[in-house]
Amino acid sequence: MATKQQFRSFESVISGSDLPVLVDFYATWCGPCQMMAGILTEVNHQLKGQLKIVKIDTDKYPQIASQHRIAALPTLVLFKGGQPVDRIEGVLPTEQLVMRLRSQLA
């Protein structure tokens, strides 16, 4: 599961990781975002050690959401080496999300 942590800069989170970082841009009031939480728990279990999952509350960090042009929630952005390599808007079933991520992690 994604862990809650404070960070000095979002850039250090996405570029300072040895693993690809999947960022879940969400809001607490967003129903589909709450559905993604369970899906991401399963994705984390299936892809353990292959990526890091980070959740960003767009209400608490609007500047980060704006910087990454987040218009719909939930939006998942996969970063490798600090650069976005894939973007998924909306809810995907666990199996589809795992398959899509595996193709980017290979």
Angle between helix axes 31-46 and 94-105 (nearest 10 degrees) is 50
Q: Which of 62, 83, 80, 82 is nearest to 71 (CA)?
A: 62
What's the CA gap between 7 and 105, in Å, rounded? Answer: 25
Give catalytic residue positions: 30, 33
As given in the structure block, the two tokens for residue 77 are: 């952005």
As given in the structure block, the two tokens for residue 81 are: 């080496």
